[in-house]
Structure 1
């Protein structure tokens, strides 16, 4: 099994200096940075008749002065028939890193982050199995904005590098806060030959 999409990097330089127009701390009306998420995720793999699905989890923890820690894990799998045999495909991704965010208005933050990346691809069936476990790094820049007190939109662009293979990624998200702390949301992330769609439950604290 060959899976071209790996992971990669593109670091943020545009947020290095803050001016008097930008404050260092997050605005109370802006996006929340202390949060945990769990959800359902589905992958759509180009040139491969497969749409594995599974679960995801993520967290973000602010450290003060705009700095934060971040992490994400997702795992998708599916049983397919190949050469007359039933085979289980499995793809998992772990991201751990840190970033910096800056609110440019009372309701909008821009951010940049760098992450350690681990990508594991596996196939098992017919009494045999094979897997590939690769490490690398990544970075992304993005924007998160509270359009209203309850509705948040986000967009990001990233560059991932794993096993000497790199690519640019794009993503978007939308969350609706049912309460001050609880939100439901949808995410979309596009790699070169695979798309990830997610439905998440978020708790902000």
Structure 2
């Protein structure tokens, strides 16, 4: 169950994206949202919040950070931090391929038991597309390898609706071997 809680909290992080062209997407933003996670094998549910941020360093390179805090059944608490960098390869003005590399740290607090923490790395690849001017869709895979909990692959899909150039609301769904996580939140973009 400990492994399931660790990977469920990481799955809640989700996945956020020609080599010489600059991306037309905004990679400078802050997001805050609600997360709900179901661990299928253990019949345990959790919910909480997630804070995400990304900063465009160049037209193709960005750095990002995510913090997720979840409360599960039986007073089990988890928090996860992910810090990394990504590169966007524009395939067209409305479609980027994104590669990411990140460091992850997860902590699980179980009442009456020894707390557990673990760290490791994640590597991901995804697509970020804009089928309409105010709609953005994402899909991706992230492989996570933690020192004590092993490894897992996470599949994520999501979408954002932009009310203005700076503000969007969105939803993400992530799937892994242990369960499913849903994210609903708002984004403030401050780059382009």
Q: Specify the TM-score bucket, using the shorter chain as the normaliser.
A: 0.7 to 0.9
Aligned to 1:130: 114
Deviations for 1:50-108, whole angstroms, at most 9, x for unmatched residues?
Answer: 2110000101111114111011111110343xxxxxxx111221100111111110111
Distance of 1:2 and 1:107 partners within structure 2:
40
Verify the 8 A CA contact 1:43 1:197 in the aligned structure 2. yes
Deviations for 1:123-142, whole angstroms, at most 9, x for unmatched residues?
Answer: 11xxx343111110111000
Distance of 2:174 and 2:115 partners within structure 1:
24
1:195 positional shift: 1.6
Q: Does residue 1:105 correspond to 2:92, yes or no?
A: yes
Aligned to 2:45: 51
1:181 positional shift: 0.6
What number of residue pairs does the alignment pair up?
180
Q: Root-mean-square deviation (CA), in Å?
A: 1.7
For residues 110-189 of structure 1, the aligned pairs below 5 Å read: 110-124=97-111, 128-164=112-148, 165-189=150-174
For residues 34-45 of structure 1, the aligned pairs below 5 Å read: 34-45=28-39
Verify the 8 A CA contact 1:6 1:160 in the aligned structure 2. no
Aligned to 2:66: 72
- Bigger helix share: 2
Deviations for 1:147-174, whole angstroms, at most 9, x for unmatched residues?
Answer: 1110000000011000251111100111
Distance of 1:32 and 1:106 partners within structure 2:
12
TM-score (norm 2): 0.87
TM-score (norm 1): 0.82
Verify the 8 A CA contact 2:6 2:107 in the aligned structure 1. no
Give the unaligned 5+ runs of structure 2.
Answer: 11-17
Distance of 2:186 and 2:163 partners within structure 1:
11
Verify the 8 A CA contact 2:41 2:179 in the aligned structure 1. no
Aligned to 2:181: 196
Aligned to 1:33: 27
Aligned to 1:24: 21
Verify the 8 A CA contact 2:119 2:147 in the aligned structure 1. yes
Distance of 1:167 and 1:24 partners within structure 2:
33
Which stretch has the larger CA shift, 190-199 or 141-150? 190-199
Give 3-state SS (helix, strand or coil) of 1:33's partner: coil
